[in-house]
Chains A and B, each alone.
Chain A
Amino acid sequence: MEYKLIGKNFTPPDIEAKVTGAAKYAEDFQADGMAHVKIFGSPMPHGVVNSIDLGEAEKVPGFLAALVPDEVKQPGPAGFPILSNKPTYFGQPIVAIAAENEQAAADAAAAVKVDMTLLPFVVDPLESLKPDGPDALEGGNIASRGIDFQSLKWTGKDFAMVGEDELPRGEAPIEWMFGDIEEGFANSAVVVEESMVHATNAHQAMEPRSAAAYWENGKCHVWGSTQSTSFAQPGLARLIGIELSDLVFVAEFCGGGFGGKATSYPLMALPALVSKKIGGRPCLLRVSRVEEYDNGMARSGFQGWMKLGFAQDGKLLAADMFMVQDLGPTSGFRDYNNVGIASTIVYQPASMRFRAVPVLTNTTPKGAQRGPGENQAANMVEPLFDKAASELGIDRLAIRRINAPGGGGADAKIGAAQGPVTSAYLKEALDKGAEAFNWVERSANSGMQNGSRARGYGIGQAYHSAGSNGFDGLVRITPDGILHVHSGVGNLGTYSYASTSRVVAEALGYDWDNVVIERGGTQKHIPWNLGQFGSNTNFTMTRSNYVAAMDAVLKLKEIAANAFGGSPEDYSLENERVFKTSDPSASLSFAEAAQRAIEMGDKYAGHVLPEDIHPMTQASAKAIAGTGLVGVAKDNLEKEGTVPALAVGFIEVDVDLETGKVEILDYVGGADCGTVIHPDGLAAQVRGGAVMGFGLATTERHVYDPAYARPNTRTFYLSKPPTILDVPLKMGWVATDQPDPQNPMGMKGIGEPLQGAASAALINAISDALGGHLFNRTPVTTDMILNAAEGLPQSHKPLATNTV
Chain B
Amino acid sequence: MTDVMHNFELYQPGTVADAQAILKDSDDPWIIAGGKDSLGWFKDRVKQPSEVVDIAGIEELQGIREEDDGGLWIGALTTLTEIGASDVIKNRFPALSTAADHVASPQIRNAGTIGGNVSQDTRCGYYRDGFPCYRAGGNTCYANTPTAMNREHALFEASRCVAVTPSDTAPALAALEATFVIQGDGDRRDVSADDFFIGPDIDITRMTSLERGDILLGIRIPGKWAGSNQYFEKVSDRNVWDFALVNIAMAASMDGGTVSDVSMVCGGVQCTPRHLSEVEDLMRGESPGSNLETLVKRVAASGAQPLNFNHFKVPMMRNLAARAVRSLAAG
Residues of A participating in the B interface, judged by any CB pair closer than 8 Å = 38, 41, 91, 102-103, 105-107, 109-110, 288-291, 294, 452, 658-661, 698-699, 701, 703-708, 710, 712-713, 716-718, 720, 722-726, 781-784, 786-787, 790, 792, 795-796, 803-804
Asked if B310 is at the interface (CB within 8 A of a chain A CB), the reply is: yes
Which of A41, A659, A803 is within 8 Å of B316, CB to CB?
A: A659
Asked if B315 is at the interface (CB within 8 A of a chain A CB), the reply is: yes
Take A710-B129, A726-B238, A782-B245 as given contacts and tell me if A41 and B312 are in contact as well, using a CB distance cutoff of 8 Å: no
Residues of chain A with a CB closer than 8 A to B149's CB:
703-705, 712, 803
A99 to chain B, nearest CB (A): 11
Complex formed: what's the CA distance from A291 to B315 in Å?
A: 37
Which of A660, A704, A705 is within 8 Å of B312, CB to CB?
A: A660
Listed by A's residue number, 28 A-B pairs whose Cβ atoms lie within 8 Å are: A38-B2, A102-B4, A107-B6, A110-B2, A288-B43, A290-B1, A291-B1, A294-B1, A659-B320, A660-B235, A705-B126, A705-B149, A708-B142, A713-B125, A717-B242, A717-B243, A720-B238, A723-B105, A723-B238, A724-B240, A725-B240, A782-B237, A783-B245, A784-B312, A792-B315, A795-B309, A795-B310, A795-B312
In chain B, residues 210-267, which have Cβ atoms closer than 8 Å to a Cβ of chain A?
Answer: 235-243, 245
Take A783-B245, A795-B308 as given contacts and tell me if A706 and B147 are in contact as well, using a CB distance cutoff of 8 Å: yes
Take A290-B3, A795-B311, A803-B309 as given contacts and tell me if A720 and B237 are in contact as well, using a CB distance cutoff of 8 Å: yes
Take A107-B7, A658-B322, A705-B148 as given contacts and tell me if A290 and B44 are in contact as well, using a CB distance cutoff of 8 Å: yes
Is B315 touching A790 in the complex (CB atoms < 8 A)? Answer: yes
Asked if B319 is at the interface (CB within 8 A of a chain A CB), the reply is: yes
B317 to chain A, nearest CB (A): 11
Residues of chain B with a CB closer than 8 A to A698's CB:
237
B169 to chain A, nearest CB (A): 18
Residues of chain B with a CB closer than 8 A to A796's CB:
309
Complex formed: what's the CA distance from A722 to B236 in Å?
A: 12
Residues of chain A with a CB closer than 8 A to B319's CB:
452, 658-659
Asked if B160 is at the interface (CB within 8 A of a chain A CB), the reply is: no
Complex formed: what's the CA distance from A660 to B310 in Å?
A: 13
Asked if B90 is at the interface (CB within 8 A of a chain A CB), the reply is: no
User: For chain B, what secondary structure do more than half of its interface residues adopt (helix, strand, loop), or is it mixed?
Assistant: loop
Complex formed: what's the CA distance from A703 to B237 in Å?
A: 15
Take A38-B4, A783-B312, A796-B309 as given contacts and tell me if A725 and B239 are in contact as well, using a CB distance cutoff of 8 Å: yes
Residue of B whose beta carbon sits closest to that of A659: B235
Residue of B whose beta carbon sits closest to that of A294: B1
Residue of A whose beta carbon sits closest to that of B104: A717
B3 to chain A, nearest CB (A): 4
Is A110 touching B322 in the complex (CB atoms < 8 A)? Answer: no
Residues of chain B with a CB closer than 8 A to A707's CB:
145, 147-148
Complex formed: what's the CA distance from A290 to B142 in Å?
A: 21
Residues of chain B with a CB closer than 8 A to A708's CB:
142
Which of B3, B125, B323 is within 8 Å of A288, CB to CB?
A: B3
Take A658-B322, A659-B319, A712-B125 as given contacts and tell me if A726 and B1 are in contact as well, using a CB distance cutoff of 8 Å: no
Is A726 touching B240 in the complex (CB atoms < 8 A)? Answer: yes
12 more A-B residue pairs beyond the given contacts A91-B1, A713-B125, with a C-beta to C-beta distance below 8 A: A38-B4, A288-B43, A290-B3, A659-B320, A660-B235, A699-B237, A699-B238, A723-B240, A725-B239, A726-B240, A783-B309, A790-B315
Take A783-B312, A803-B149 as given contacts and tell me if A661 and B235 are in contact as well, using a CB distance cutoff of 8 Å: yes
Residue of A whose beta carbon sits closest to that of B147: A707
Asked if B47 is at the interface (CB within 8 A of a chain A CB), the reply is: no
Complex formed: what's the CA distance from A556 to B248 in Å?
A: 74
Is B241 touching A783 in the complex (CB atoms < 8 A)? Answer: no
Complex formed: what's the CA distance from A783 to B314 in Å?
A: 11
Residues of chain A with a CB closer than 8 A to B284's CB:
none
Complex formed: what's the CA distance from A123 to B245 in Å?
A: 26
In chain B, residues 314-331, which have Cβ atoms closer than 8 Å to a Cβ of chain A?
Answer: 315-316, 319-320, 322-323
Residue of B whose beta carbon sits closest to that of A291: B1
Residues of chain A with a CB closer than 8 A to B4's CB:
38, 102-103, 105-107, 288
Residues of chain A with a CB closer than 8 A to B323's CB:
452, 658
Residues of chain B with a CB closer than 8 A to A658's CB:
315, 319-320, 322-323
Is A289 touching B3 in the complex (CB atoms < 8 A)? Answer: yes
Take A103-B4, A289-B3, A705-B149 as given contacts and tell me if A722 and B315 are in contact as well, using a CB distance cutoff of 8 Å: no
1/0 per residue, CB under 8 A from A, across B128-162: the answer is 01000000000000100101110100000000000
Complex formed: what's the CA distance from A712 to B44 in Å?
A: 14
Is B239 touching A660 in the complex (CB atoms < 8 A)? Answer: no
Is A786 touching B239 in the complex (CB atoms < 8 A)? Answer: no
Residues of chain B with a CB closer than 8 A to A724's CB:
240
Complex formed: what's the CA distance from A703 to B242 in Å?
A: 16
Complex formed: what's the CA distance from A712 to B150 in Å?
A: 11
Residues of chain B with a CB closer than 8 A to A288's CB:
1-4, 43
Complex formed: what's the CA distance from A103 to B42 in Å?
A: 13
Residues of chain A with a CB closer than 8 A to B322's CB:
658
Residues of chain A with a CB closer than 8 A to B238's CB:
699, 720, 722-723, 725-726
B25 to chain A, nearest CB (A): 26
Residues of chain B with a CB closer than 8 A to A704's CB:
149
Residue of A whose beta carbon sits closest to that of B312: A783
Residues of chain A with a CB closer than 8 A to B7's CB:
103, 107
Which of A102, A661, A795 is within 8 Å of B151, CB to CB?
A: A795
Complex formed: what's the CA distance from A658 to B147 in Å?
A: 28
Residues of chain B with a CB closer than 8 A to A103's CB:
4, 7
A364 to chain B, nearest CB (A): 13
Is B129 touching A712 in the complex (CB atoms < 8 A)? Answer: yes
Complex formed: what's the CA distance from A796 to B237 in Å?
A: 18
Complex formed: what's the CA distance from A540 to B199 in Å?
A: 62
Complex formed: what's the CA distance from A704 to B126 in Å?
A: 11
Complex formed: what's the CA distance from A781 to B237 in Å?
A: 7
B154 to chain A, nearest CB (A): 15
Residues of chain A with a CB closer than 8 A to B320's CB:
658-659
Complex formed: what's the CA distance from A534 to B152 in Å?
A: 37
Complex formed: what's the CA distance from A103 to B7 in Å?
A: 8
B301 to chain A, nearest CB (A): 12
A404 to chain B, nearest CB (A): 33
Take A712-B149, A717-B242, A783-B245 as given contacts and tell me if A660 and B125 are in contact as well, using a CB distance cutoff of 8 Å: no
Complex formed: what's the CA distance from A724 to B105 in Å?
A: 11
Residues of chain A with a CB closer than 8 A to B245's CB:
782-783
Is B1 touching A41 in the complex (CB atoms < 8 A)? Answer: yes
1/0 per residue, CB under 8 A from A, across B281-299: the answer is 0000000000000000000
Residue of A whose beta carbon sits closest to that of B243: A717
Residues of chain B with a CB closer than 8 A to A710's CB:
129
Residue of A whose beta carbon sits closest to that of B233: A659
Residue of B whose beta carbon sits closest to that of A90: B1
Which of B2, B125, B148, B241 is within 8 Å of A716, CB to CB?
A: B241
Take A717-B241, A725-B240 as given contacts and tell me if A786 and B3 are in contact as well, using a CB distance cutoff of 8 Å: no
Residue of B whose beta carbon sits closest to that of A793: B311
Complex formed: what's the CA distance from A708 to B323 in Å?
A: 40
1/0 per residue, CB under 8 A from A, across B1-31: the answer is 1111011000000000000000000000000
Complex formed: what's the CA distance from A660 to B320 in Å?
A: 12
Q: 9 closest A-B pairs (Cβ-Cβ)?
A: A106-B4, A658-B319, A783-B312, A288-B3, A795-B309, A725-B239, A707-B147, A106-B2, A725-B240
Residues of chain B with a CB closer than 8 A to A784's CB:
312
B195 to chain A, nearest CB (A): 30
Take A107-B6, A707-B147 as given contacts and tell me if A792 and B240 are in contact as well, using a CB distance cutoff of 8 Å: no
Q: Which of B6, B319, B323 has the most chain A CB atoms closer than 10 A to its own CB?
A: B319
Q: Which of A290, A722, A783, A804 has the most chain B CB atoms closer than 10 A to its own CB?
A: A783
Residue of B whose beta carbon sits closest to that of A704: B149
Residues of chain A with a CB closer than 8 A to B240's CB:
723-726
Which of B125, B236, B308 is within 8 Å of A718, CB to CB?
A: B125
Residue of B whose beta carbon sits closest to that of A289: B3
A44 to chain B, nearest CB (A): 13
Residue of A whose beta carbon sits closest to that of B4: A106
A42 to chain B, nearest CB (A): 11
A239 to chain B, nearest CB (A): 23
Is A787 touching B312 in the complex (CB atoms < 8 A)? Answer: yes
Residues of chain B with a CB closer than 8 A to A716's CB:
241
